[in-house]
Amino acid sequence: MVDLFLQGGPFMWPILGVFIVGLMFVIERAISLTLAGVNTKKFIVKVNQALQEGGPDQAMELCTNTKGPVASVFTAGLMRLGRGIDQMEKAIMNAGQIELAFLEKNLVWISTVIAIAPMLGFTGTVAGMIVAFQDIAAANDISPAIVAGGISQALLTTLFGLIVAIIMQLFNNFFIARIDGIVSSMQESSVEFVDMLIQYEDQHGEVNAPKPE
C-alpha cells in the first residue's frame, strides 16, 4: 500500500492532507451529533413531570441541565411562558433555527473535501500523462516500459482521489440523515411541548416565565 502511494507521485500528498482534514471534521461531527441525540419521548415526559410537580422553574432547571437541541428549544419556550402562544412558538422556532445551524456546522468542509479530492486526483492524472509523454519524447520510443511509470502515476492519483471522495461522501450522507432525524424529532416534540405549556397555563391561570439560571 505504501509503495502504491509513493508510486502515485507528488499529488498523492495533498490528497492525503485533504483526507486527514476531512477525517478531523468527520470526528468532530460524529461526537457533536452523538451528544445531540436525546430520546425526545422520554425527555418530554420528564419535562411534563417536572412542570406539574415543581412548576416552570423545575422544568427550566431540567432543560438547562440537559444537553442537546431539544432541551435548548424547550428552554426557549419556557422563557416565553405566560406571553401567549405566538411568543412561545416564535421563540421555539428561532431556537430551532439556531440549533439546526449548529447541527450542520462543518458539513460544508466535508463537502469541500468531497469536491477537492477527485480534482486533485485528476490533476495528478494530467501530471502523470505529461510525464509519460516526456519519457516518450526523451526516449524517442513508445514502448510500454517507457510510459508505464507515468500512466501508473496518473491512474493511482485518480484512484486515491476517488476513494477519498467516496469515503467522505458516505460520512456526509450519514450525518445528513442523522440531522434530518434529530430535526424531525425536534419539530414533533416542539408541537407537543407547546400544547403542554398551553394546558399548564389553562390549569394554573396567569403564570410567569422562569428566570434563567
43-72 pLDDT tens trace: 888 888 888 888 888 888 888 888 888 888
* H or E element, residue 3: helix 2-7
Alpha carbons 28 and 31: distance in angstroms, whole number: 5
C-alpha cell at 64: 438547562
Would you list the domain boundaries of the chain? 2-204
Predicted confidence band of residue 16 (pLDDT cuts 50, 70, 90): very high
Low-confidence winner among 19-28, 143-152, 156-165 (lowest mean pLDDT):
143-152
Of 73-77, 105-109, 123-127, 163-167, where does the model show the most confidence? 163-167
pLDDT exceeds cutoff 90 at 19: yes
Task: Take residue 6 and report the three cell numbers written for it.
Answer: 509513493
**What totals of helices (H) and strands (E) does the chain contain, helices first?**
7, 0
Pick the residue with more confidence: 50 or 153? 50
Contact, 12 vs 157, CB < 8 A? yes
CA dist., res. 53 & res. 68, Å (int): 23
The pTM (predicted TM-score) of the whole model is: 0.80
